A = this chain, B = another copy of it.
Amino acid sequence: MSVKIVVVGGGSSYTPEIIEGLIKRHEQFPVSEIVLVDIEAGKEKLEIIGHLAKRMIEKAQKPIKLSWTLDQRKALENADFVSTQIRVGGLEARSDDERIPLSHGFIGQETNGAGGIFKAFRTIPVLLELARQVHEICPNAWIINFTNPAGIVTEALLKHSPHKKVIGVCNIPYNMRHSTAEILEANPDDVKIEFVGMNHFIFGRNVFVKGEDRTSDVLETLLNADLDYSPANIVNLGWSKTFINSTQLLPNPYHQYYFQTEEVLKKDLKAYEEHGTRAEVVMDLEKSLFEIYKNPDLDVKPKELEERGGAFYSDVACSLMDSIYNNKEDIQTVNTLNNGAISDLPDDAVIEVNAVITRHGPKPIAVGRIPASVRGITLNMKAFEELVIQAAVSGNYEDAYLAMVMNPLISDEKKSKTLLDDLLKAHGVYLPQFNL
C-alpha cells in the first residue's frame, strides 16, 4: 500500500523536520511519495528545501519519491495526508501582527491576541479553499493542520468546509509532557497529562506516570520555577505559589499572557526595542537557516532548526499520521471536535484533547466539566474564538471589531477600533473577504 503526503507550505524552514520524521518512521509508516507545494512568492525557498529533502532521503536510502511544485491541485491527486504549514503574508505580516499591537500598548502575539486574530483572518480563507480542493480531488485524505492559530483554524475548517477529515496539532502539549517527564525523571512515553481546554489555552489537570498520579509533584516544581516548558518564542516567568495552589492546575506558557499581562508586555516591549519583533528575529534566523540548507553537503536536518519556537510540531504531525495509517489506537493530544468531551463547551467546538488515534480519526477521551476555577475564562476564550471565525468568514467590519473588543487582552471599546483599523490597513492585501 502506497502512502502519499502533500506538504502545503513545503518551502517552510520546518520542512526538514517533517522529512526527518517520515524517514525515521519509514519502516512502520512506509510513505512512498512526498510532494512539497508552495506559492509563487515562495518558489526560491521551495527549491532549496526540495533539494535538501532529496539529499536527506537519498542519504537515508528510503524508497520515497519526492517532488515539489506550485500546482496545488495537481499535487493533491491521490494524496493520503495533506499537512499545512503556511504563513499568509510571510514573516513581514507576522512582524505587523506583533509590532502594531505593541504600538497600541497591547501584547502582539500571534495566536490568541490581536496578532493571532489577524493571522486567523489571513489564513482561514486560504485553508478553506485548500479544504475544498482536498474534498474534491482527494476526499479520503486527512488534513493535518499545524498552521497557527491551530485550534481556531481547525474549528473554522470543520465548521465551514465540506471536508471533515481535519485534525489540528500543536507542540505545546508535547513540550509540556516532555518537560514534565524530565522533571520527574521519567520516560516521556510513560507520562500522561489530562488536558482541559483548547489550543494555547489548555491546562494540565492531572499528571500520571505509568498510571500513578504525580500531579502534586509536578505542581511543586512549578512553584519552584524548576519546570520550563515554554517554547523558544515565549517568555517563562514562572508561576506564583498562590496561583498554583489555588487552581491546582498546570498552566501552559500562553497563560502568561492572561495572568501576567503587564510583565509580559513589559518584556515584549523591551525585547522589541532591543531586537525588533520576534518576526524580525526569526527573519534573521530563517535567512541563516536557508544559508545552511543550501549547503549541498547537508543531508540531514541541521540542529539549528530546533532553536525555532515551533520545534517538534512536525514530529507531532508525523506521529499522528503514523497512528492513523496503522490504526494504532494510541493516545495523542490533538485539536478535534469536542463532541461532548468537555461537557461545558459546544459539541461543534474544537478542543485540544487526548484522543485515541484510529484509522478513522481521533476519538477524544471525555474530560467532563472544566474545573470551576478556570471555567469562566475558558468559556470566554472559546466564545472569542467563535467571534474570530465568524469575522474571518464574513469579512464584516463589525464582526472583526467584536473579535477584537471581546479578546480579554484588549477589551477596550475605543482602542479596539484604532488597533483594528491599523491592522486592517496593514494586512489589507491578504484580506480579500473584507473588501477594503
A binding-site residues for B, Cβ under 8 Å: 192, 206, 208, 210-213, 239-240, 242-243, 245-247, 258-262, 327, 329-331, 337-343, 347, 354, 356, 358-360, 363-369, 372-377, 379-384, 386-387, 390, 398-399, 401-402, 405-406, 408, 411-414, 416-417
Given contacts A359-B212, A372-B390, A412-B260, contact A339 B327 (CB under 8 A): no
23 pairs of residues in contact across A and B, judged by CB atoms under 8 Å: A208-B358, A210-B327, A239-B413, A240-B417, A243-B413, A258-B411, A260-B414, A329-B331, A340-B342, A340-B343, A340-B367, A347-B368, A363-B365, A363-B366, A364-B365, A364-B366, A372-B387, A376-B379, A376-B380, A376-B387, A376-B406, A379-B380, A408-B411
Q: Are A411 and B343 in contact (CB under 8 A)?
A: no
Given contacts A239-B413, A376-B379, contact A340 B356 (CB under 8 A): no
Query: Helix, strand, loop or mixed for chain A's interface?
Result: mixed
Residues of B within 8 A of A259 (CB): 405, 411-413
Q: Are B383 and A379 in contact (CB under 8 A)?
A: yes
Pick the most buried of A337, A381, A411: most chain B CB atoms within 10 A of its CB. A411
Residues of B within 8 A of A246 (CB): 398-399, 401-402, 405
Minimum CB–CB distance for A354 against chain B, Å: 8
Once bound together, how far apart are the Cα atoms of A213 and B358, in whole Å?
A: 11
Residues of B within 8 A of A208 (CB): 327, 358-360
**Candidates B331, B375, B382; contact of A383 at CB < 8 Å:** B375
Minimum CB–CB distance for A246 against chain B, Å: 4
Once bound together, how far apart are the Cα atoms of A258 and B410, in whole Å?
A: 10
Residues of B within 8 A of A368 (CB): 337, 339-340, 347
**Candidates B327, B341, B372, B398; contact of A341 at CB < 8 Å:** B341
Once bound together, how far apart are the Cα atoms of A337 and B377, in whole Å?
A: 23
Residues of B within 8 A of A383 (CB): 372, 375-377, 379
Minimum CB–CB distance for A77 against chain B, Å: 23
**Candidates B210, B343, B411, B413; contact of A347 at CB < 8 Å:** B343
Q: Are A360 and B211 in contact (CB under 8 A)?
A: yes
Q: Are A327 and B211 in contact (CB under 8 A)?
A: yes
Residues of B within 8 A of A343 (CB): 339-340, 343, 347
Q: Which 5 A-B pairs have the closest CB atoms?
A: A211-B359, A376-B383, A340-B343, A211-B327, A339-B368
Once bound together, how far apart are the Cα atoms of A380 and B416, in whole Å?
A: 20
Residues of B within 8 A of A363 (CB): 354, 365-366
Residues of B within 8 A of A376 (CB): 379-384, 387, 406
Q: Are B373 and A387 in contact (CB under 8 A)?
A: yes
Minimum CB–CB distance for A26 against chain B, Å: 20
- Look across to chain B and name the residue whose beta carbon is closest to the beta carbon of A382: B376
Q: Are A213 and B364 in contact (CB under 8 A)?
A: no
